[in-house]
Structure 1
Amino acid sequence: MLSFGWVSCQTEKNVKKYPGTVGDVEFDHQLDDPDFKKCGSEKWGHFSFQYYQGTKEFSYKGEKIAIAEKLKKENIYSEKKVNGYITVRFLVNCEGKTGRFRLQHMSPDLKDSVLDEELEKKVLQFTKSLDGWMPKEIKGLKVDYYQYLTYKIENGKVSEVLP
């Protein structure tokens, strides 16, 4: 019983250093636009929905095909013939604006691996340029939500956008 009380006190002291929900992206002044604001409401606070919390549908004007067409026009590629995946995860606020972009790169066997830093910058810039994200509502309230796009890289070229 004593150890439970001690653990409980320790946990309470540490609560502030952990995000509200697993996967929340905290503001980083070196990476993030200070003008990007999360929306809030009395009901939800500054809670942002994850893809698995009732926001599963893809909410982009023109759907995923519009992103794929824009990507094809951009012709993003690397001189290096790398293969793998680049995932860009970001927040869409209740106005449809995006921010807090985070990038993860993986080899074809899904191990953490830097593919090509210049290619990754191009993919990130492309993702930031997408301006057709639509606000979502849950129970009548506009909410912030996380979105991600995974780019499949084959022989240095983006060959597919997932999901």
Structure 2
Amino acid sequence: MTEILKLLLLVPLISCGQEKSETGPGYPDYVGDIGFNAEMDNKDFELCFEKHIFQYFNTGNGLEYDGEKSAIEKEFAEKYKSEIIKNETGLIRINFVVSCKGKTDRFRLIGMDENYNEKFFVKSITEQLMGITKSLKGWKGKKYSEKEIDYYQYLIFKIENGQLKEILP
């Protein structure tokens, strides 16, 4: 098989943003899935399609929030109380699910240092970021091929010595 043909066969996997797991029971169906956790998640959170949650970029519309990214940045600028904390530098990513109706749940947080190694930030930073992220109410439902879909969304926070410097994507 030529290299071009191999690449063309992989495009559907890449465009979906997920790969099927071949590891058996107890593992997520797709890489990056966030399964329900009774200790952390709202039992009443409803999804349209539990077995197929898209990535936010699958529809080609990027981040969809009332007021766009600037509205998210404004919320954090108003609510995040920065304090200078030496050595609290790196990235904090919060992943979550947005239902087809624009509701959110299944929030997960991971921190990393400047070299992308796992890092545990102080609670005064992570709890604020998680609380503000959970309070965001402007997420929009998405459609793909005329059908409402659920999707994964994430926000990445660049932290320098405890100060919130940037929000991605």
| TM-score in same-fold range (> 0.5) | yes
Larger Rg: 1
Which residue is equivalent to 1:17? 26
Q: Distance in 2 between matches of 1:95 and 1:67?
A: 19
Deviation at 1:159, TM superposition (A): 1.2
Residue 114 of structure 1 is matched in structure 2 by 120
Q: 1:32-51 residue pairs with structure 2 within 5 A?
A: 32-40=41-49, 46-51=51-56
Q: Which residue of 2 aligns with 1:95?
A: 101
C-alpha spacing 1:26/1:55, structure 2 compared with 1 (3 Å)? farther
Q: Indicate the residue corresponding to 2:5 in structure 1.
A: none
- Tell me which moved more, 105-114 or 143-152: 105-114
1:55/1:136 contact within 8 Å kept: no
Q: Which consecutive residues of structure 2, in runs of 5 or more, have no partner in the other structure?
A: 1-20
For residue 59 of structure 1, the aligned residue among 60, 64, 71 is 64
Offset of residue 126 of structure 1: 0.6
Q: How many residues align?
A: 148
CA contact (8 A) 2:59 2:143 kept: no
Per-residue CA deviation, residues 101-138 of structure 1 (Å, 9 max, x unaligned), is 00010112221011212210110001000000000000
| CA drift at 1:157 | 1.4
**1:7 corresponds to:** none
Letter in 1 for 2:51: H
Aligned residue for 1:53, secondary structure, equals helix
Q: Which of the residues 127, 135, 142 maps onto 1:129?
A: 135
Percentage identity across aligned positions?
A: 37
* Structure 1 contact 39–46 (Cα < 8 Å) conserved: no
Q: Deviations for 1:18-39, whole angstroms, at most 9, x for unmatched residues?
A: 2221111110111111111111
Distance in 2 (alpha carbons) for counterparts of 1:123 and 1:17: 30
Residues 36 and 71 of structure 1: is their aligned pair in 2 closer, same or farther, counting only changes over 3 Å? Answer: same
CA distance in 2, matches of 1:139, 1:47: 14
Q: Which amino acid aligns with 1:154?
A: E
Aligned-pair CA distance for 1:52: 4.9
Q: Secondary structure at the match of 1:65?
A: helix
Normalized against structure 2, the TM-score is what?
A: 0.80
5+ long unaligned stretches in structure 1:
1-10
Change (3 A) 1:76 1:110: farther
